[in-house]
Structure 1
Amino acid sequence: METMYYIGLDVHKKTINYCVKDGSGRIYAAGSIRATRLELDMWMKTLPRPWTAAMEATIFTAWIYDHLKPHAAAVKVAHPLMLRAIAAAKKKNDRIDAHKIADCLRCNFLPECYMASTEVRERRRTLRYRNLLVRQAVQMKNKIAVLLMEAGVSYNKQKLHKVRYFRELLATNQDIDNGLRSLLRQCRETVVRLGKTESALVRSLQRDSLLVERVERLMTIPAVGPITALTWALEVGDVQRFSSIKKAISYCGLCGAERSSANITMRTPLSKQRNKHLQTVLIEAAKMAPRNSPELAKVYEQGKQKGNANRATLAVARKMVAYLVAVDRRQNGFLVVENKNRTAA
């Protein structure tokens, strides 16, 4: 029977610390290499086989994971917060971290987190870049309003970003001097350019063969548009990784943390341990959802009767997560079963 070797990696921008151990915990090799593909290739030639590796989830993890995976028996990624709780130590440095990760992997204590496929991560990167462009466009629109207010120029807030109104404002308002007019035009051009790029990115994702069927199914759910569907598909990846709807809701950051001691229970605000991209999109969609779905409107009214509109919106968002999970699991479009007074997918 072949001996499996376990490798703990502590990855950083420029260096990777490693520790190689056998099943008994004996150190086979330890050291540091530069974080480049060429250096990794040279290092892998020195490793005993078979081997499995683990590393903490960081911004640098993805490319290292992809590069090692074809050569390893398995490559695993650890949840940083849970790993810190398991492998806490008084002394902490890169060398010790690599040893701890190797031990967690060897003893099957590694708190493994989900790693999406390379194809999904590439498209997710595109969607997140689109979200960045949207935020930048909003900043530029706000800057236009700030520039006008600084100069004491009156304007119609509802029409400010309409093409015709904006052009007439620059041409006819005597309070706008040449310097300000030039800045306003540059801001407007930036907004238009960002909008065109954002639209092109969304269209390319909607036409993507990897996503098109799934996105079309998700969009059969009331109040789920292309952005919500794309965000769900790319941020969640494989919906089967959630064993229950409650876990999906927790991942989306739509429930608070709970701290209990004796007979005292305290619920905190929305947990910070969440996918912030999904949380933002689902809450924004939930604000509009009651207008498009009688079922979601009923959920909102039930929450509103308790006296808190924000909690009612969160209740709608949680219901939308249940719909999204059901449609994804059953691979069918959304369907409301009226005679049984329930919804199904």
Structure 2
Amino acid sequence: MAPQFVKPYVKSNKNDRVDAEAICEAVQRPNMRFVAIKEVEQQDIQSLHRIRSHVVSNRTAQTNQIRGLLMEYGIDIPQGRSHVRRQIPRILEDAENGLTVCFRGLLSGLYEDLIRLDARIEDLDRQIAQMARGDDRVKRLMSIPGIGPLGGTALMAAVGDVNVFRNGREMAAWLGLVPRQCSTGGKNRLLGISKRGDVYLRQLLIHGARSALRVIEKKEDPRSRWAQDLLERRNKNVVAVAMANKMVRTAYAILKYGGTYRADVPVLT
């Protein structure tokens, strides 16, 4: 059980006895939500993703540090890792750019660290792709446009047993991809998405949705036409979130009932 669902049953100050009473009371509620225990394979995949996310953050920090230090010497590199990787060797070879011998040595070390981080991420990506190829469920998830090895394995590791959700909308709500409700006095008011659940997985799904949106103009299937119509009325970021919501609901149906993604199936709005 999630701690926030047990907290309302705590009757006094916190201690082991009071906590145990609250847990016993909460577990007997008919509508209580429970957290599924992850299998070892799920923990392995989730560990890979956490390590990869950490290394990617380190690489971003390393890239920004290199750009910031060079700005102190009057050398401006455009944003983006590819610009840094491409221009650092030229800067180190340029003997007339005013860099001291000391800083050239420091910059060379930072550049080597950046290359090692890139190699580490590539190795982790290979491991994730290998796991994706070895899992039939992930391969079926990857048939959904916008879901690749990263999104498929992360979704499978987070969800596990899809039967804990009553329907696809509940699974999308679990990932924070549905509107937050603020209703009172019979007046329904829907705000932005709730952003509950796994932030990393939600980011992967939305990034995947953006990739799928880039090619919808060339397609005529029902989902692509639905996205095209929505793009004419709403901001592209809103459409990306809506597409991610559709992807999660489709993933639920595939995991629940089997099969793969079919582009010819009408989209329910």
CA RMSD across the alignment: 2.7
The 8 Å contact of residues 327 and 334 in structure 1, kept in 2 or not, is answered as: yes
> TM-score, length-normalised on structure 2?
0.84
Task: Give the letter for the 1:326 counterpart.
Answer: A
Q: Alignment identity in percent?
A: 23
Query: Following superposition of structure 1 onto structure 2, how do residues 86-125 of structure 1 map, counting pairs within 5 Å?
Result: 87-105=9-27, 111-125=33-47
SS in 2 for 1:264: coil
What residue is the counterpart of 1:127 in the other structure? 49
Counterpart secondary structure, 2:183: strand
User: How far apart, CA to CA, are the structure 2 residues paired with 1:234 and 1:148?
Assistant: 41
SS at match of 1:342: coil
Shift of 1:210: 9.2
Aligned residue pairs total: 262
Amino acid at match of 2:67: A
- Extract unaligned runs of 5+ from structure 2: none
Gaps of 5+ in 1: 1-77
Task: Provide the rounded CA distance (Å) in 1 between the counterparts of 2:47 and 2:34.
Answer: 22
Q: Does 1:147 pair with 2:74?
A: no
- For residues 10 and 161 of structure 2, the distance between their equivalents in structure 1, rounded to whole angstroms, comes to 31
SS in 1 for 2:181: strand
Shift of 1:109: 7.6
Larger Rg: 1
Structure with larger RCO (C-alpha < 8 A, sep 6+): 2
CA contact (8 A) 1:299 1:316 kept: no
Q: State the AA in 2 paired with 1:126.
A: L
Give the Cα–Cα distance (whole angstroms) in 2 for the partners of residues 309 and 109 of structure 1: 37
Greater helix proportion = 2
- Cα distance, 1:304 vs. partner? 2.8
Residue-by-residue CA offset, 1:234-292 (whole Å, 9 max, x unaligned): 11112222211111111121122202111433333322432212111111111111124
Partner of 1:308: 235
Q: 1:206 Cα deviation (Å)?
A: 2.9
Question: 1:179, 1:145 → 2: CA distance?
Answer: 17
Shift of the 316–103 alpha-carbon distance from structure 1 to 2, 3 Å rule, reads closer
Q: Deviations over 1:198-222 (max 9, x none)?
A: 2222322332389532222222222
Query: CA separation in 2, counterparts of 1:334 and 1:108?
Result: 35
**Contact 1:301/1:312 (8 A) holds in 2:** no
Counterpart-to-counterpart distance in 2, 1:150 and 1:297: 48
1:102 Cα shift?
A: 3.2
Cross-structure match for 2:196: 273
Give 1:181's aligned amino acid: R
Identify the match of residue 123 of structure 2 among 200, 209, 212: 200
